[in-house]
Amino acid sequence: MSQVVSETEEQIEPVGQVRIVYLGPVEPHWDFQPVWGEDEVLEAFAERVAARLLLLPPHDPQFRRNRERVNRDGEREAILVDWDLGFPEETQEAAPAAPAAETA
């Protein structure tokens, strides 16, 4: 019996790595920092990322969708993507817990 490996299961060596940093509420919101890789490849990726993130702060609902698209683009192009939003992401997404009612 032969085994078929799909394209999505193949391990592809990364060709570069980038860090996307949130600069704050004043435009431009994002800084694209190449970590390693070919300059031409990373610059082309940075242009597409900038188009997806233009004018989107991290608290905007559209940011989540576009961030996932950027991550998928990075996977497809074998570029590792790191995000620095300037705050712990768990606290951003977690809703505050309601105080427990005490019973006597």
- Pick from 8, 27, 16: nearest CA to 81: 16
Give CA separation, 12 vs 9, 28, 38, 65, 70, in Å.
9, 33, 16, 24, 18
Query: CA 28, CA 20: separation in Å to the nearest integer?
Result: 12
- Average pLDDT of span 56-65: 87
Work out the percent of the chain whose per-residue pLDDT is above 90: 38
Residue written as tokens 């990075």? 74
- Average pLDDT of span 39-55: 90
pTM: 0.67
Predicted confidence (pLDDT) per residue in 84-93, tens digit = 988 777 644 4
Give CA separation, 18 vs 4, 32, 67, 68, 93, in Å.
32, 7, 14, 15, 24
